[in-house]
Structure 1
């Protein structure tokens, strides 16, 4: 019989994670992690959470979650087969109750599938809206161009032409000044390593703009989180090729980044790559504190 809990526990020990470390990374309560390692799946709050917690546990310790879930399905099927052989013939009412339970499990599986594909559905919907907007704007521009071509030409006096040229020149100068200021701000940004304690790293961020934007990109499955003033602003698992942008609120003096798989994570701050791996590239899990200096 497959021992899912032992496989996951062995993988956790190979990563040198304690249960407290895993609880911090996955945000799954420690008692549920212990139940998974002991194969006590009945202690979890439902079939949906059993699959979700096992998937997140496996991804975090580097085990293929699809293989683990397949083993879970086999175990579940063996238990059902044993119960059917051991139990006597039941009344129609009992059968109806079991059928209802099966319907609930199917509903949970359907819900899990919907949650799995929900990001893709949202992206498709957003792309469709963008394409629709582009089509309507293009159609409107064509109509305006047709109306303009059918309108008789109107002569313009020398004074009006000179005024328009001056206005256009002023707009170009303002746009140029704005671009120079933006480029200067990005050039002046600097990230300096201050200290290291185990897997905890502290950096100073200077010369950054008021709105600090963090972009996480994943080359494989990776879990990350961002906290401001002790409150989680975002946390989640990014699959291979996915990315996430998080904006730090204006006026923030310090923020914290937790990386569950730093080797598979690429991070930029305001479009500039943050090469945190140069400070002990062998670490997988790390906690990064960034202090924003004036």
Structure 2
């Protein structure tokens, strides 16, 4: 049977489109388009985007993406049933191994002379066993084990806060209390600023950033002069108008990767000693980003966009 990827690829080539043409019309990254044509949908993050990308691709080549997905699912189920059927048949046809029965060797009768020769050996074994038992009983220290207790001290370099109107649960490394926020902390080798309060009267924000570089899929910001003497934390808040996949990295370590909803703003608090924060949006057109309450421009040239903010002064 022809796979979903082959059907879309053949129709694309028949219409004279290249993958770049599909990319320009849909905003889907080339690597995800290649994954669709190679039937490697697992490369695409999340079921929502798998379905969404296939439907968009199919729409460009004038095909029904929903029907293609249903047929692909049906073929996968048939293939799995066929595999299980063959596996069961192989188990039933596999010959059973019968263990050979070895003849029991004849036991020779023990003569009085042999019994007499065994007595010294038995006595020696009994004495050795008694000595070993005594050592074990009277020397317990030989079998004691020492346990070293190691204390690991970690400090937080970033935290994630998801704010909602309903009462949720706040989770930290020490206690659990009722609150209106849910906080998850990750550890880094840096000094924590527990107060989280800026020493400036007014914290600089998104309007004080400068563009360092910009490409089709990524924009890189740096800190402007207003941040020169800033000692407070960096609070970045993400809001979306529809469910959107987001990945956030601090110091190059991923601290958040999930689909967030339009009803729950998410705030990332990076400490003043953080080097950088990188945020990738699955649907850039649906996302807004603020730094310390001031807007940070998110490019919308491509569907998937990355915003990186270098925090090193």
TM-score class, shorter-chain normalisation, is 0.3 to 0.5
Greater strand content: 2
TM-score by length of 2: 0.44
Q: Which has the larger radius of gyration?
A: 2
TM-score of the superposition, structure 1-length normalised? 0.47
